């Protein structure tokens, strides 16, 4: 159930600047990998060694790094003419409309998900589900006592919203002061955050970076460990001017990302630390390299750039709206116990439906609402 927040577009938040269209496209690639990861996940029956597209959960950490890079690019030079409240308004306009849509879709499909996989749904009254929906629209995290599904999620109607909760925390930390850090001070902060990440991945009980979606001490530890390094490393990469120029940057970076997210789990059930080392290397070494390759592409047109732009636009709506369909699919697998081959056609239908819902949400709701809110609420600055 892992994987972020694909929540920031250079086109959307920095319209007066050149855009990193390849970075936007990579967010779309990662979102598609998230959908694939979630479609395969029910067949593993909780055994991480059997999970296909095994490291798809790391897409969350990649999203955080992209967001940090783009936030620094869009806002670092604007604070002399922009208040904190103006910054918060811009972030809310960018993210909150689709957060609301994700909660509404989750509520609409909630009772279709009832079954052995989700033991609490059948006994959940409508009024309680609607209360959870309303709170989900605010992105306020829910305690375990308000769980209505049985998975102890802080957002039971739309699980992936947990990463947006942490995205907002990162934005607040940036705005209240960490944006003022020098490159040296920021580098030290990022180093400490890397140690926290390594401690979780290599020395934690699981040997991976899975988790962060519950409002308890253990899951909050996981969530902050996953957030702090990639987000602020992304800011540091932008400030250091990290760019790697290669031919066919979108294809090369996409391939690196797909391979990193798809490799099988390392170390089996006996040597968890080996997989933890892989997770840490992906986030600390591979993802910065992928971001630098994406940022090194200067072209703004061409076939690959048009593909990148399309997937970039689709990325956040797809990420934040697909999971209610995954709940239904997971419930069907728990009831019917199909083979992988029998689940293939339904999985493709779920993926196609998720993409269609995301595209319709983008064009008919998200873009018009953000334009209207921007016109009404934002200062007009040059």
Secondary structure of residue 115 in the 3-state scheme: strand
Distances from the Cα of 243 to the Cαs of 66, 142, 249, 296, in angstroms? Answer: 14, 40, 11, 5
Looking at the chain, the whole-number percentage of residues with pLDDT higher than 90 is 87
CA distance 48 to 33: 17
Closest by alpha carbon to 162, among 132, 133, 140, 146? 140
CA distance 106 to 154: 13
Angle at 215 between CA 214 and CA 220, to 5 degrees: 85
Q: Output phi, psi for 190, to 5 deg.
A: -65, -35
Mean pLDDT within 306-313: 92
Give 190's pLDDT tier (boundaries 50, 70, 90): very high
Longest pairwise C-alpha distance within the chain: 59
Q: pLDDT tens-digit profile of 211-247?
A: 999 999 999 999 999 999 999 999 999 999 999 999 9
CA distance 172 to 192: 19
Output the 3-class SS for 26-64: HHHHHHHHHHHHHHHHHHHCCCHHHCCCCCHHHHHHHHH
- pTM to 2 decimal places: 0.93
Question: What integer pLDDT is reported at residue 268 of this predicted model?
Answer: 86
Token pair of 156 as six digits: 């039971």
CA distance 328 to 152: 17
Question: What integer pLDDT is reported at residue 5 of this predicted model?
Answer: 38
Tally Cβ neighbours within 10 Å of residue 191. Answer: 11
Tally Cβ neighbours within 10 Å of residue 303. Answer: 8
Range of lowest pLDDT (158-162, 228-232, 301-305): 301-305
Q: Indicate whether 6 pLDDT > 60.
A: no
80 DSSP assignment:
G
Please say whether the beta carbons of 144 and 152 come within 8 A: yes
Please say whether the beta carbons of 115 and 334 come within 8 A: yes
Q: pLDDT tens-digit profile of 32-49?
A: 999 999 999 999 988 888
The length of the chain in residues reads 382
Bridge partner list, 118 = 115
**Alpha-carbon torsion, ordered 206, 65, 370, 132, to 10 deg:** 20
Please say whether the beta carbons of 225 and 197 come within 8 A: yes
């Amino acid at each position: 159930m892992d994987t972020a927040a694909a929540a920031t577009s250079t086109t959307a938040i920095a319209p007066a600047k050149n855009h990193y269209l390849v970075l936007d496209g990579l967010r779309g690639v990662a979102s598609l990998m998230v959908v694939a990861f979630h479609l395969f996940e029910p067949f593993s029956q909780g055994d991480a060694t059997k999970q296909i597209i095994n490291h798809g959960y790391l897409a969350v950490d990649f999203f955080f790094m992209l967001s940090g890079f783009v936030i620094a690019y869009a806002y670092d030079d604007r604070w002399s003419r922009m208040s904190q409240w103006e910054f918060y308004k811009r972030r809310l306009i960018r993210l909150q409309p689709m957060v609301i849509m994700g909660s509404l879709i989750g509520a609409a499909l909630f009772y279709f998900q009832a079954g052995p996989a989700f033991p609490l749904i059948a006994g959940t009254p409508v009024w309680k589900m609607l209360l959870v929906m309303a709170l989900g629209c605010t992105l306020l995290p829910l305690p375990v006592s308000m769980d209505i599904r049985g998975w102890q999620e802080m957002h039971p109607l739309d699980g992936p919203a947990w990463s947006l909760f942490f995205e907002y925390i990162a934005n607040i930390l940036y705005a209240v002061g960490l944006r003022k850090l020098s490159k040296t001070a920021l580098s030290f902060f990022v180093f400490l955050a890397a140690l926290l990440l390594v401690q979780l991945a290599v020395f934690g009980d699981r040997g991976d970076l899975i988790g962060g979606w519950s409002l308890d001490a253990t899951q909050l530890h996981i969530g902050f460990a996953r957030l702090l390094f990639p987000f602020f490393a992304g800011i540091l990469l932008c400030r250091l001017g990290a760019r790697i120029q290669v031919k066919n940057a979108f294809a090369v970076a996409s391939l690196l990302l797909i391979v990193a997210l798809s490799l099988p789990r390392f170390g089996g059930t006996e040597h968890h630390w080996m997989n933890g080392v892989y997770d840490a290397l992906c986030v600390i070494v591979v993802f910065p390299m992928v971001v630098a390759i994406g940022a090194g592409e200067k072209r703004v047109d061409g076939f690959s750039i048009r593909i990148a732009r399309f997937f970039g636009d689709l990325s956040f709506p797809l990420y934040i709206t697909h999971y209610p369909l995954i709940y239904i699919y997971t419930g069907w697998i728990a009831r019917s116990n199909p083979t992988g081959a029998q689940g293939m056609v339904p999985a493709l239908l779920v993926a196609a439906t998720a993409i269609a819902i995301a595209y319709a949400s983008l064009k008919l709701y998200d873009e018009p609402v953000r334009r209207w809110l921007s016109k009404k609420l934002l200062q007009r600055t040059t």
